[in-house]
Structure 1
Amino acid sequence: MEKSANAEIQEVIINVKSEREANSPSGNESQNEEVDGEANASIGNGHQNRELVKDITQMLESSEPPLSPKCCIYRVPLDLRNLNEEAYTPKVISIGPFHHGVERLEAMEKRKVRYFKIFVEKAKLNVENLVSIIRDREKDVRSCYSEISNLSTDDYVKMILLDASFIIVFLLKRGHEEWADCDNSTTFTERLMIAIFNDIWLLENQLPLFLIEELYSLAFPSPSNYPLFTQLAIQLCEELVTDFFSPLNEHHLSSYSNFHFLDLARTISLSQSKRLQKRSIGNKFLRTYNASQLVDAGVKFKVVSSECLFDIEFTNGVLKIPCLTLYIQTESLFRNLVALEQCHYQFDRYVTDYVYILDFLIDTNKDVDLLVEKGILVNTLGDSNAATTLVNKLSQHTYFIVMNSDYCRLCENLNTFYSVPCHKWKAILRRDYFSTPWRIASTVAAIILLVLTFIQTVRSFY
């Protein structure tokens, strides 16, 4: 019944359509065809739109959430990484999720387990309590990283627990006598200690300090015979600052509120300064001349000791600069500090400013030799070309909105001094005629001879 009824309906539709086509002129036929074509196209477009909307919806649902306000540990931007990938990559140990599971770093995972065992036994801790603490803080820890880790909760908690306990034992080995020989393994050489020390400062190789401090406080609650974690952390960072920058003065930190070791090292290096200026949107970016050009214009260079590395001053024709030692590791440290500022600090990019000033002063090997001669640079890299290349590449692919107003005035004053002709003339006289006792003597003799000749000529004329 149902089938026959449908057949009758189809037959009626066909007859009506046939009559319409028979009674319609050819123009109407084309119009009907166009209408049918548009209808079919509309149906096709509608289907395609639904598929596209579905794809876009799925894309939006799978997109990563915006960075948390707590985010402080970042992947180094690709354009910076491409300049020197090794400067940002750990050599022996992975800390945190970014380099976790890398095959060439697996050798240290066994040592992490051994250190965790030492930490638990010497501090008499309950593993279940440690796991509970980190599991409760997992969300806060994950929010500190710029990328979402694919590790499960269990794997993530295990990774953080091993990494944090390793850092605690590493700090105690360096800062507490009872822990100095806790790992008597012959493989733990001074070379390995230095390699671990260098890896701890990499931006991608950080753990949030609040978590490490929480575990440390659980293991060694105050008061105890152990130093506060704050003291150990600052001591480690001060060692780095002293090695690479300048000796610390009396203004060193007694406390901190920083995110991780690299950020703490930056804070300590800046805390030595008495002259860091607040940023202002109106600050303009100025270049200045290289060291050789400034010397030719009469600028004198003078090394300043026991002050912040970033305190550069120009007064009365003298450019005062604290000493900077260039090691093999200097590039890695500066690159990671600059990367941190590029990713996290929108305005307070003081290390980036300093790198630009260095780049202005050093263009050629002659500039490096001049600064080494003045004691401003200590170059342990082997030759001047290596130092020139290092400095010139540090500022590449770096950006900032405003510049330190103190450095703006520095560049402006140097440019003004350079533009005064009499300064250049004095410099030429000093360099060509009065630079050594012999030149002074010969110059004075020439002047006397010239005066006597002039007098003789005048007398002969009269």
Structure 2
Amino acid sequence: MAGESASFDDHEHDANASFIKNHEHAGGKKLSEEIAGMLGSLKPFPESPGYCIYKVSEPIRQSNEQAYTPQVISIGPFHRNNPKLQSMEEFKLRYLQSFRDRDKINLEDLVSAIKGAEEGARERYSEPIKLGSDDFLKMILVDAIFIIEFFRKNWSKIWTKYDRRILTPWLSSRVQMDLILLENQLPFFIIEKIYDIAFPSLSKDHPFIELTFCQFQYFNVQGYEPRDFWSSGIIILHFTDLLRNFCLPPCERQPERSVGIIKEMHSATQLAEIGLKFKKITSNSSTICSPLELKYADGVLEIPCFQLDITTEIHARNLVALEECHFPEDAYITDYYILLSFLIKTGEDMDLLVREQIIANWLDGVVATSMINKLSEKSFYSQMNSHYQKMAQKLNGFYASQSKLTWRRALFSTPLIGASAISAFLLLLFTCVQSLCSVLSLKYF
């Protein structure tokens, strides 16, 4: 009986093990099929140039929400449903109406052109665009025509009474700022395409890029011309990208970025206290300098002059955000603000550079200093402009050598002070020796 019972138990155990094994196999097969289905639902990764219009990452956005969010007008899909921006939608439609009626534009031709470029336009956005084809095309057409009309009116200085009644100086300036935000962009190529179709004769003599340079001339600190971009093979992705290129030196003057970062550097005031001289670099017709091109040699730090005003933070933050998303290997703007944050740590540092006419500050000193220090605080980086790295090492070396020299000069500034210092040192040494002898005498007594 015992043998039969054991045999029965063994059989039952084998049956349970077989059931569990089959169940696990079936469950594993089902799970693997679900995972395969998830992988199969992925859309193909976009071909180059791919994404170039991004939503700003949350950690960066938290530092200043408004710097990345349009305040009066939505361009593109990311903010089109923001209720605070709906008042400008009618204004955009009126611009489309005047555009069509004045220039006798065939909207059907424009729609057909956009339809052919729809896929390429969608691929420029980092987020899936949850709009059907018709709604997407309407958005592109309305927003692009508004931009073209706005730029043309500014270029030709032909503003109607209706324009002036709606576009007050404040609102016009704010529209300009909204047009440089990374999240508020249309692909440049689609606006250019619509412009070329709408104005085939005008576009030959005055291409859209010319109007764009005119519109953003305030940010064109190096006085670039469209031909400079053409000759260098620079392709404009959108307006934020254009403003970044305005800041960069020509390709042949862009230093390599290498592994390594600036971990420590003395501030402007600290450097000035031990003898460093600051000099403003001013561009002229023969030597146009990028704002990023600082120079150091023989105890003199040369810095291109720059202006701080209410537009600076919006401009700078969106360029840094673009680099984080699209140009992490070429983040020259980010490098620049990291370097400035080392130089400008306090209000005294800001005041020093203002006195040297390097900074034209239209902000409160504390606000300006805080802005500089916060611009790159959320940036994570392991590479940096190699020129800045070497310059920081030289400045740290200058500070160390000058500090020793300053101490020696202070110590031996007059024969009397030098003699007193030597006497004090000898007295201290004699006291230490005497104390040591006393201790040894007690030990062996």
What interval of TM-score do these two structures reach, taking the shorter chain for normalisation?
0.7 to 0.9
Conserved 8 A contact 1:251-1:271:
no
Q: Structure 1, residues 211-257: CA drift from partner, whole Å, max 9, x if none?
A: 11111111111357972212111222322234xxxx63799846452
Q: Identify the residue that residue 55 of structure 1 maps to in structure 2.
A: 34
1:418-456: per-residue Cα shift (whole Å, max 9, x none)? 111467529987xxxxxxxxxxxxx9xxx8999xxxxxx
Amino acid at match of 1:118: S
Amino acid at match of 2:276: V
Letter in 2 for 1:26: S
Give 1:183 deviation, angstroms: 4.1
* Structure 2 residues not aligned, in runs of 5+: 284-288, 418-445
Q: Name the CA distance, whole Å, in 2 between partners of 1:114 and 1:427.
A: 75
Q: Report the AA paired with residue 260 of structure 1.
A: H
User: What corresponds to 1:123 in structure 2?
Assistant: 103
How big is the shift at 1:47? Answer: 3.9
The equivalent residue for 2:25 is 46
Provide, for residues 91-126 of structure 1, a one-character-per-residue CA deviation record: whole Å limited to 9, x for no partner.
Answer: 111111111222211111111111111222222111
User: Among 90, 101, 106, which residue is 1:110 paired with?
Assistant: 90
Alpha-carbon spacing, 1:417–1:375, altered in 2? closer, same or farther (3 Å): same
Q: In structure 2, which of residues 320, 335, 340 is the aligned counterpart of residue 338 of structure 1?
A: 320
Query: Offset at 1:278?
Result: 3.2
- With 295-304 and 124-133 compared, the bigger mean Cα shift is at 295-304
Q: Secondary structure at the match of 1:186?
A: helix
Letter in 2 for 1:40: F
Deviation at 1:72, TM superposition (A): 1.2
Q: CA deviation at 1:185?
A: 5.8
Q: Does 1:392 align with 2:377?
A: no
Partner Cα distance (2:224, 2:122) in 1: 36
Aligned residue identity for 2:312: T
Q: What's 1:5 paired with? A: none
Give the Å deviation of 1:133: 0.6
Of 228, 237, 244, the match for 1:259: 237
CA contact (8 A) 1:294 1:418 kept: yes
CA contact (8 A) 2:111 2:141 kept: yes
Q: Which residue of 2 aligns with 1:301?
A: 278
What is the correspondence of 1:127-146 to structure 2 with a 5 Å cutoff? 127-146=107-126
Deviations 1:156-195 (A, max 9, x none): 0110011110110010011014x43284462221111111
What is residue 190 of structure 1 aligned with on the other side? 169
Residues 238 and 265 of structure 1 are in contact (CA less than 8 Å); yes or no, is this contact kept in structure 2? no
CA distance in 1, matches of 2:359, 2:217: 21
**Shift in CA distance, 175/352, structure 1 to aligned 2, threshold 3 Å:** same
Q: Which residue pairs with 1:73 in the alignment?
A: 53
- Alpha-carbon distance in structure 1 between the residues aligned to 2:161 and 2:211: 17
Partner residue of 1:203 out of 168, 182, 192: 182
* Contact 1:286–1:411 (Cα < 8 Å) also in 2: no
> In the aligned structure 2, how far is the partner of 1:211 from the partner of 1:250?
21
Larger radius of gyration: 1
Query: More displaced, 81-90 or 184-193?
Result: 184-193
| Residue in 2 that maps onto 1:101 | 81
1:355 and 2:343 matched: no
Equivalent residue for 2:154, pick from 174, 184, 194:
174
Count of aligned pairs between the two proteins = 406
Tell whether the 8 Å contact from 1:347 to 1:400 is kept in structure 2 after alignment. no
Is 1:26 the counterpart of 2:8? The answer is no
Deviations 1:331-360, CA, capped at 9 Å, x for gaps: 111111011111111322110110111011
The residue that corresponds to 2:301 in the other structure is: 319
The corresponding residue for 1:83 is 63
Give the CA deviation at 1:52. 2.2
Where do 1:217-296 residues align within 5 Å? Answer: 217-222=196-201, 227-242=206-221, 248=223, 253=228, 255=230, 257-271=235-249, 275-279=253-257, 281=258, 285=262, 287-296=264-273
Of the structure 1 ranges 251-260 and 322-331, higher mean CA displacement relative to structure 2 is found in 251-260
Task: Determine the C-alpha separation between the residues in 2 that align with 1:250 and 1:272.
Answer: 12
Q: In structure 1, what is the Cα distance between the partners aligned to 2:118 and 2:163?
A: 33
Change in Cα spacing, 1:252 to 1:291, as seen in structure 2 (3 Å) is farther
Q: Is the 8 A contact 2:259 2:384 kept in 1?
A: no
Distance 1:169 1:188 in 2: 13
Asked if the contact 2:275–2:402 (Cα under 8 Å) also holds between the matched residues in 1, the reply is no
| SS across alignment from 1:378 | strand
Identity %: 37
Give the whole-Å Cα distance in 1 for the aligned partners of 2:403 and 2:377. Answer: 35
Alpha-carbon distance change, 129 to 190 in structure 1, aligned in 2, over 3 angstroms: same
- Provide the C-alpha distance between the structure 2 equivalents of 1:277 and 1:251, rounded to a whole number of angstroms: 23
Q: Kindly tell me: are residues 53 and 162 of structure 1, through their superposed partners in 2, closer, same or farther at Cα, counting changes over 3 Å? A: same
The residue type paired with residue 278 of structure 1 is E
